[in-house]
Amino acid sequence: GGGAMAEGEGLVSVDYEVSGKVQGVFFRKYTQGEAKRLGLVGWVQNTSHGTVQGQIQGPTARVRELQEWLRKVGSPQSRISRAEFSNEKQIAALEHKDFQILK
């Protein structure tokens, strides 16, 4: 692994919110693990209304993989009813150092 990103592979930033049984099931920890495995940066946090939200940044293809994971997989005990994505935009550089779980 490692090495430079492929030339011409643009970076994107996208916000997400996942609904369903996603709190108290290690959803944030698994999301962080998956994001790190894919080499993405951003953050994830629980909301006061029972959803999980955050932001993903990285190469478009990798971001798509995490979006698919957030839609269909999640953590082992989670039950995802909906994953919504918004504010997608091309970015020139990553705005986060790593992928963090926010309290």
Q: List residues with catalytic annotation.
A: 28, 46
Helix or strand holding residue 99 (H, E) = strand 99-101
Q: Which helix (H) or strand (E) holds 16?
A: strand 11-21
Cα separation of 47 and 37, whole Å?
24
Dihedral, 17, 79, 102, 54 alpha carbons, nearest 10: -20
Nearest to 16 by CA among 88, 84, 98, 90: 84
